[in-house]
């Protein structure tokens, strides 16, 4: 029977019918065999596992490959977006942890192997006291690993206990190697008004951090007046710093914030932020 000839339906005798039937069946099996081999070759080149004959004629052999490509692209895009968001947030996973050493005193010291707090995190943002804007300069955000850990832990606990509260506002820590942090590094604002303190007297050995009082309007910025301060949230932060083992928590004399005598102390020029000091080890 010539290739391509249609299989006959009626034959004059039985033997002729059987011969034609066998020839026709052989032709069909041969065609199916070629098709199966082709499918296996294409499938193995795409790495897809052939399932049934249904994926042959009714579905192009490259369909599985085309079907997986958008999924993998999508997953890659998701991962890239997560990384971008983490970088924008200054994810805590970006922190280069080291064992730091605070040398000398907060008022006359230095910092060895300081850890830099990222510009912002999930539960905190940083506030530049010189430019009175977010975020703070990276060179002003170094502390001992113990101080950085305390900031992250308290920011997280504060957020968890106060849903809807603004993220904790972190101001200056120390410079990269500690040392003087005087007016040559910028004039500190108070309530966003220039001409305030000429730099820090302390903040020299990675044990000090300034935290701006949370605002009652929920904005993530330093308070611009006493009326902006959420005193309830502020007292909760003071309490957390005391519980975390702070040696000193300096608060504004006009805020009314309180705590254990000798630890929580009113101090001039702290009406817009808390100054927290960890004890040396
Ligand atoms: Zn301070």
Angstrom CA distances, 34 to 111, 116, 219, 231, stand at 76, 66, 71, 81
Rounded CA separation 69/244 (Å): 51
pLDDT at 174: 98
pLDDT at 18: 43
Residue 58 Cα to ligand 1 middle (Å): 73
Low-confidence ranges of the chain (pLDDT < 70): 1-92, 195-197
Structure tokens at 206: 């990675």
Q: Which residues pair with 143 in a beta bridge?
A: 115
pLDDT at 2: 39
pLDDT at 68: 34
Residue 200 Cα to ligand 1 middle (Å): 7
Residue closest to 242 by CA, chosen among 228, 261, 222, 270 = 261
Residue 22 Cα to ligand 1 middle (Å): 97
Residue 84 Cα to ligand 1 middle (Å): 32
pLDDT at 199: 92
Residue 203 Cα to ligand 1 middle (Å): 6
- Helices (H), ranges, 126-169: 145-161
Residue 95 Cα to ligand 1 middle (Å): 23
pLDDT at 196: 60
Residue 211 Cα to ligand 1 middle (Å): 8
Rounded CA separation 213/60 (Å): 64
Residue 275 Cα to ligand 1 middle (Å): 4
Residue 94 Cα to ligand 1 middle (Å): 25
Residue 122 Cα to ligand 1 middle (Å): 23
Q: Is the pTM above the cut of 0.85?
A: no
Angstrom CA distances, 195 to 25, 87, 136, 190, stand at 99, 34, 19, 8
Residue 229 Cα to ligand 1 middle (Å): 18
Residue 199 Cα to ligand 1 middle (Å): 9
Residue 250 Cα to ligand 1 middle (Å): 8
């Amino acid at each position: 029977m010539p290739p391509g000839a249609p299989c006959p339906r009626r034959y004059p005798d039985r033997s002729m019918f059987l011969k034609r039937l066998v020839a026709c069946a052989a032709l069909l099996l041969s065609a199916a065999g070629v098709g199966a081999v082709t499918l296996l070759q294409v499938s193995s080149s795409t790495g897809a596992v052939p399932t049934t004959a249904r994926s042959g004629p009714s579905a192009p052999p490259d369909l599985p490959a085309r079907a997986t490509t958008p999924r993998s692209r999508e997953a890659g895009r998701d991962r890239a977006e997560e990384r971008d968001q983490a970088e924008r947030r200054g994810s805590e996973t970006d922190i280069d942890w080291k064992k730091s050493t605070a040398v000398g005193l907060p008022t006359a010291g230095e910092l060895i192997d300081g850890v830099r707090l990222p510009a912002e995190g999930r539960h905190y943002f940083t506030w530049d006291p010189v430019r009175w804007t977010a975020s703070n300069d990276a060179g002003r955000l170094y502390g001992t690993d113990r101080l950085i850990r305390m900031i992250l832990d308290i920011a997280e606990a504060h957020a968890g206990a106060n849903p809807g509260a603004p993220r904790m506002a972190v101001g200056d820590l120390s410079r990269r190697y500690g040392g003087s942090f005087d007016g040559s590094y910028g004039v500190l604002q108070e309530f966003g008004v220039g001409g305030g303190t000429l730099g820090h007297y302390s903040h020299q050995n990675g044990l000090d951090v300034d935290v701006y009082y949370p605002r009652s309007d929920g904005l993530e910025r330093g308070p611009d007046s006493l009326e902006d301060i959420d005193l309830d949230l502020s007292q909760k932060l003071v309490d957390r710093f005391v519980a975390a083992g702070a040696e000193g928590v300096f608060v504004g004399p006009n805020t009314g914030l309180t705590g254990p005598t000798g630890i929580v102390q009113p101090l001039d020029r702290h009406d817009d932020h808390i100054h927290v000091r960890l004890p040396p080890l």
